[in-house]
Chain A
Amino acid sequence: EPEVTQTPSHQVTQMGQEVILRCVPISNHLYFYWYRQILGQKVEFLVSFYNNEISEKSEIFDDQFSVERPDGSNFTLKIRSTKLEDSAMYFCASRLQRGRGPQHFGDGTRLSIL
């Protein structure tokens, strides 16, 4: 069964550094998402992306964050200048249909900011 893959599984970065989290969504899916889960807290929506544009974003997704689909397969989340509070598990998801279709999630990238 096709799946969403995320790399790396664990990323350790110094505060203030830029970090790029990578995702390969399911190949025929059209809608892409990033979520964040701070340890012990709920999963929070960050951003959705369709047709090479951001379609929705949350308050968390400020100017430090950006997303890109640089080619036909990758979907990346960039944090420009990391802060301690960016430490979290980041999940990528994709789905075929907007609204009704289920999202398929990757296993996540654990980001640790030192």
Chain B
Amino acid sequence: AQSVTQLDSHVSVSEGTPVLLRCNYSSSYSPSLFWYVQHPNKGLQLLLKYTSAATLVKGINGFEAEFKKSETSFHLTKPSAHMSDAAEYFCVVTRNRDDKIIFGKGTRLHILP
């Protein structure tokens, strides 16, 4: 069975400090993993993707994520938060052998001035 767990429903960081949004997955088959961001009243924008190439993946807006198979994790990080990063972030896993797509529950990121 496939599942995605985003461990924090809310994360607050100060502007200029590092961001860590946690995601753990389980998948019976080789997964592809994605992070999406959703700003208020907007659609889902792809931040980055892992599809079995390099384990450290760089995305847009300074975000990156590292695929750690031993920990079944795909945490999203950014060295320095910006006010414009305030949004909802979703970790998504898909199974490469078919079209099963599972969303995490989302983490709302708050940026404190």
Contact = CB atoms under 8 A, between A and B. Distances in A.
Interface of A: 4, 6, 31, 33, 35, 41-45, 48, 50, 55-56, 91, 93, 98-108
A10 B95 CA distance: 32
Contacts of B97: 99
Interface of B: 32, 34, 36, 42-46, 49, 51-52, 90, 94-106
B36 A105 contact: yes
B43 A100 contact: no
B99 A48 contact: yes
A41 B9 CA distance: 11
25 contacts: A42-B90, A42-B104, A42-B106, A44-B103, A45-B101, A45-B102, A48-B99, A50-B99, A56-B98, A98-B99, A99-B32, A99-B94, A99-B97, A99-B98, A99-B99, A100-B32, A100-B52, A101-B51, A102-B46, A103-B34, A104-B46, A105-B43, A105-B46, A106-B43, A107-B43
Contacts, number: 61
Nearest to B100: A56
